[in-house]
Amino acid sequence: MGSNLLILIYLLASITFIIGLKMLSHPARARRGNLIAAAGMAAAIAGTVFLYKDEDGNALHNYAWIFGGLLIGAIAGTVAARKVKMTAMPEMVSLFNGMGGACAALIAIVEFGHLVHNLQSVSGLTAIDTTFRDGLKQHLLIIVAGLVIGSISFAGSMVAWAKLNGKIRDFVFKGQHLFNIALLLIIFLLAVYLTGWLPAGGVSLFYIILGLSLLYGVFFVMPIGGADMPVVISLLNSFTGVAAACGGFLYNNKAMLTGGILVGAAGTLLTILMCKAMNRSLMNVLIGSFGATDKSTGGGKKEQGNYKEISLSDAAMIMNYAHKIIIVPGYGLAVAQAQHTCHELEKILEAKGVEVTYAIHPVAGRMPGHMNVLLAEADVSYDKLQEMEQANEAFPATDVVLVLGANDVVNPAAKTDPTSPIYGMPILDVELAKAVIVNKRSMKPGYAGIENNLFFRPKTSMLFGDAKKVLQDLIGELKAL
């Protein structure tokens, strides 16, 4: 009875994961979908703790450790989620994703230890002989797969967290691509050798694979920087999902398997879509060269000329008499925590008869969907958010484009400068509008580290200052008109 009930709970949990993921596709339902999926996970955890029994009919008994870990994790996660700033959300996503990879790797280590111990306890047989004789090679293959993928996800996510947090910088050396490919090939060959031939030193080889996987995770992410980081976060997230699915196979846990597959598949699809949006190949991501540039070439740093500055009163006047305005949010908006002020500006303009929409680049910000989440927090209507293709069609008929802290995603060098690191990346064609107002703190380059020649175009005017303060002042000027 208990076993059948547990299977039913796992089935229901799997259904809630699918429903929750589907509801995440629309901001109006996203919160509810998240809660539904979380409820399914809570039910799966409770069912496992109280109803699970092994093949010998033994139930779990170490409740103090189980509930102690659950309590510590719940408190740490809740506090971190409530205190994190929107600008630090990408770092938190990377950190939590890394913890998922670490859990998958630890499961693989524990299960490998159990496997070796159980097999060596069989009288007269070595672990190697027993693996072949009892047909456990597939079980070991899943363990090694979970170890490799989980370790890469953990190490890579920690490096991504440190880079997003500004603790470490990009690191590139000559022959980086070949080194990464060779390291990944060695890991693959050792994994095949361990599971297929099982040498006498199988335990040592297992931990060598662990060390090399962690090393690859570090070198995989170290050269990646600039506007490319959202793709890396998405890819690492898919790795964690696949590693969790391996754990589901090991424990025959349907909920864990379904959740891992959903995360892995969704992360992979998102990675492919973002690569397409960046006009990059997935292979470049896998070998750790995505976004890596040779700073010594000076690509994208040619002399541009002079820029023109606009006053707050003139900017307000232009926007007041516009018929259509498109706002392009960027990381600078998140840093200033100005999303609510931006929404207030939108309402002021609409009250004056101005049509206001938002143009969202697929990789704007520091993680997938960063700008969507930012604007949803300020209750901006989802119907006002235009994707890149839709916005690019609308720019020629737009009177004013207000760029708030975005940089690389509006840089025309992606189309005009073959020496630029972002050459070939699809961008928001804001320069097609009648006028462009760019709000930045200074003329310093963006996250990709290159200068933006949009700032020197005839249609572009620079409005310097903190995004929140500038928007507040704009609102005051507009109200006075």
Q: Give the range among 38-42, 293-297, 374-378 with minimum mean pLDDT.
A: 293-297
What total number of domains does the chain contain? 3
Residue 99's pLDDT band, with cuts at 50, 70 and 90, is: very high
Say which range, 307-316, 417-426, 433-442, 446-455, has the weakest mean pLDDT: 446-455
pLDDT at 383 over 80: yes
Between 385 and 125, the more confident residue is 385
- Asked if residue 355 has pLDDT above 90, the reply is yes
Query: Are both 285 and 375 inside the same structural domain?
Result: no
Q: Are 423 and 323 in a shared domain?
A: yes
Same domain membership, residue 103 and residue 66: no
Q: Are residues 95 and 46 in the same domain?
A: no
Share of the chain above pLDDT 70, in %: 87
Last residue in a domain, options 52, 83, 114 = 83
pLDDT in tens, 149-192: 999 999 999 998 988 877 887 777 888 878 888 999 999 999 99
* CATH classification of the domain holding 470: 3.40.50.1220
Kindly report the three-state secondary structure assignment for every residue of the chain: CHHHHHHHHHHHHHHHHHHHHHHCCCHHHHHHHHHHHHHHHHHHHHHHHHHCECCCCCECCCHHHHHHHHHHHHHHHHHHHHHCCHHHHHHHHHHHHHHHHHHHHHHHHHHHHHHHHHHHCCCCCCHHHHHHHCCCHHHHHHHHHHHHHHHHHHHHHHHHHHHHCCCCCCCCCCCHHHHHHHHHHHHHHHHHHHHHCCCCCHHHHHHHHHHHHHHHHHHHHCCCCHHHHHHHHHHHHHHHHHHHHHHHHHHCCHHHHHHHHHHHHHHHHHHHHHHHHHCCCHHHHHCCCCCCCCHHHCCCCCCCCCCCECCHHHHHHHHHCCCEEEEEECHHHHHCCCHHHHHHHHHHHHHCCCEEEEEECCCCCCCCCHHHHHHHHCCCCHHHEEEHHHHHHHHHHCCEEEEECCCHHHCCHHHHCCCCCCCCCCCCCHHHCCEEEEEECCCCCCCCCCCCHHHHCCCEEEEECCHHHHHHHHHHHHHHC
* Per-residue pLDDT at 3: 76
Encode pLDDT of 18-47 as tens digits: 999 888 877 778 889 999 999 999 999 999
Closest by CA position to 277, among listed 394, 395, 407, 425: 425
Which of 49, 83, 117 is where one domain is finished? Answer: 83
| Nearest one of 211, 200, 209 to 141, comparing CA atoms | 209
Whether the pLDDT of residue 330 is over 60: the answer is: yes
Q: Is pLDDT of 465 > 70?
A: yes
Identity of the amino acid at 89 = M
Check residue 472 and give its pLDDT: 94
Q: For residue 306, is it within any domain?
A: no
Domain membership of residue 222 as a residue range: 88-292
420 and 271 within one domain: no
pLDDT at 174: 83
Residue 297 included in any domain = no
Q: Is the pLDDT of residue 297 over 50?
A: no
- The answer to whether the CB of 131 falls within 8 A of the CB of 140 is yes
Residue 120 is predicted with a pLDDT of 67
Give the confidence band of 304 by pLDDT, cuts at 50, 70, 90. low
Residue 143 confidence (pLDDT): 94
In this predicted structure, the answer to whether residue 299 has a pLDDT above a threshold of 50 is no
Which residues have a Cβ under 8 Å from the Cβ of 375 and sit 6 or more positions away?
A: 329, 339, 342, 343, 358, 385
Same domain, 138 and 199: yes
Q: Decide which of 213 and 128 is more confident.
A: 213
Shared domain check, 454 and 397: yes
The answer as to whether 302 is a domain residue is no
Q: What is the pLDDT of residue 24?
A: 83
Q: Is residue 300 part of a domain?
A: no
- How far apart CA 194 and CA 200 sit, in angstroms, is 10
Q: What is the pLDDT of residues 117-150, one digit of tens each?
A: 776 665 454 555 554 555 577 888 999 999 999 9
User: Can you give the pLDDT at residue 423?
Assistant: 78
Residue 289 confidence (pLDDT) above 70: no
* Average pLDDT rounded to a whole number, residues 349-378: 85
Q: Are residues 118 and 222 in the same domain?
A: yes
β-pairing, 460-464 with 385-387? unpaired
Of 38-47, 52-61, 380-389, the one with minimum mean pLDDT is 52-61
What is the mean predicted confidence (pLDDT) over 436-453? 79
User: Which among 64-78, 86-100, 195-209 has the top mean pLDDT?
Assistant: 64-78
Cβ-contact 407, 451 below 8 angstroms: no
The answer on 223 and 189 residing in a single domain is yes
Residues 235 and 95 in one domain: yes
The pTM of the full predicted model, rounded to 2 decimals, is 0.78
Residue at 304 is within a domain: no
Q: Indicate whether 420 pLDDT > 90.
A: no
Residue 270, pLDDT score: 85
**Same domain as 73, residue 105:** no
Band of pLDDT at residue 291, cut at 50, 70 and 90: very low
The number of beta carbons lying within 10 Å of the beta carbon of residue 438 is 27
Residue 110 lies in a domain: yes
Averaged confidence pLDDT in the chain? 84
Q: Which of 408, 429, 466, 473 is catalytic?
A: 408
pLDDT tens-digit series, residues 220-255: 888 876 556 778 888 899 999 999 999 998 888 888
Question: Catalytic site residue 408?
Answer: yes
Q: For residues 149 and 275, state if they share a domain.
A: yes
More confident residue, 289 or 438: 438
Of 4-13, 277-286, 294-303, 428-437, the range with the lowest mean pLDDT is 294-303
Query: Residue 425 in contact with residue 388, Cβ under 8 Å?
Result: no
How high is the pLDDT of residue 191? 93
Q: Tell me which of 83, 115, 130 is where a domain ends.
A: 83
